[in-house]
Amino acid sequence: MIFGGFEKCTLVDYPGKVACMVYTIGCNFRCPYCHNPELVDETVETTYSEAAILDFLDTRKGLLDGVVITGGEPTMHEELPAFARRVKEKGFLVKLDTNGTNPEMLRRTIDEGLVDYVAMDIKSPLDSYSQTVARAVDVEAIRESISILLASSIEYEFRTTIVKGLLSPEDLKRIGEAIQGAKSYYLQKFVPTKILNPQFKRKVTYTDEEFVEFQKIMHEYVETCKIR
């Protein structure tokens, strides 16, 4: 695989673990608030080979717990299972970030023991996905990925980036209904920095107090809801 980004150490992207993070190139969504536009539109200037990442891991045994594979959308890449297997063979945990559009790939990585933790984005209520991500979406694929994680024995989380103007408290209730019974859900604050659609820099986020109220809403549907 060829990666469009590489972070040698992160303490926040794999809960409870010290990890490095690799970014795959390309995405089938066009979320206007995406903070990795160069990965989405495939204009990255610096790339990293799989061999370079694996060589780096050889120097970090005993120092890093795992590798986060994010994007872009990693499940678009047929090479994902092979790369994850090589990482696992070196003794590292693997966390996968995904938008849930490829349930077949998600199921394969879980069934073959290639991932230890999955974070799946829930962009909006399922019936408004296409408007939110600016692309046609197979909502049944999203629904299937949710079901796969709910039935899985591995660690997982669902998460939603909350952009004021795109998501309302009522929308959160509908998201809660879609993932009801989930172990872990995160409300992520929208930070208007480098994003795909510059006009969204004008968007404002909800207040801390409003996020606490959202957390109360989601606690009715999931075991644990936290704010990032």
All residues at 6 or more sequence positions from 41 whose CB lies less than 8 Å from its CB, including other chains = 196
- Check residue 33 and give its pLDDT: 84
Q: How many domains does the chain have?
A: 1
The CATH number linked to 129 is: 3.20.20.70
Percent of the chain at pLDDT exceeding 70 = 94
- Check residue 194 and give its pLDDT: 53
- Check residue 203 and give its pLDDT: 58
- Check residue 165 and give its pLDDT: 81
Beta strands in the chain, from DSSP E residues, in sequence order: 2-10, 19-24, 48-49, 66-70, 93-98, 117-121, 155-162, 184-189, 224-227
Summarize the confidence of residues 27-53 as an average pLDDT.
Answer: 93
CA distance 37 to 77: 18
- Check residue 190 and give its pLDDT: 83
Enclosing domain of residue 161: 2-227
pLDDT in tens, 134-149: 999 999 999 999 999 9
Judge if pTM exceeds 0.85: yes
- Check residue 37 and give its pLDDT: 86
pLDDT in tens, 63-86: 999 999 999 999 999 999 999 999
Summarize the confidence of residues 191-198 as an average pLDDT.
Answer: 60
3-state SS assignment for residue 9:
strand
- Check residue 193 and give its pLDDT: 63
196 has a pLDDT exceeding 60: no
Contact predicate 75/65, CB 8 Å: no
Summarize the confidence of residues 104-108 as an average pLDDT.
Answer: 98
